[in-house]
Amino acid sequence: MWAVLDEVVLHRPFGSREVMREQLTRLLILQEHREVRVQVLPLGVGQHPATAGGFNVLRFDDHPDIVYSEIYDSGYMSANPRVAKDCSHRYDHLQAAALSIEDSAKLIARVREERYAEQPEAAGSPVA
């Protein structure tokens, strides 16, 4: 699995601080597997080929490539070779604009520590 994530997903909290920390930790653990590659597209890139929405390109050895994309109320799947080629090309551009795998992991770790670090419990009793 190869994925390019928009940097905004590292910063936009979904769930608690602990949930976000666990999600970012999981991304770092996944990076340890050779067959998983995660890259982060930095905020400074601006408009990019996935600005209109995310998509998945599923590649197969013995079958045509398939593209899957979603809008808010439905998903769309296509085996049209022209669509698959276009989305593959868009993905190549995303990868080229994204941070390297190593720099992506460093950014994920930094955001995890800066934004979602474990908070020490306050000493003493609460002030009334």
Cα gap 75→48, rounded to integer Å: 21
pLDDT digits (tens, 9 = 90+) for 14-68: 999 999 999 999 999 998 998 999 999 999 988 887 877 889 999 999 999 999 9
Residues 57 and 65 sit within 8 Å (Cβ to Cβ): yes
pTM: 0.83
pLDDT digits (tens, 9 = 90+) for 88-110: 999 999 999 999 999 999 999 99
Q: Return the structure tokens found at 8.
A: 């905004």
Q: Return the structure tokens found at 41.
A: 């597209």
Cα gap 71→30, rounded to integer Å: 27
Model pLDDT, residue 76: 93
Model pLDDT, residue 49: 77
Q: What are the sequence ranges of the domains in the chain? A: 1-42+98-118, 48-97
- What confidence category does residue 124 fall into, taking pLDDT thresholds of 50, 70 and 90? low
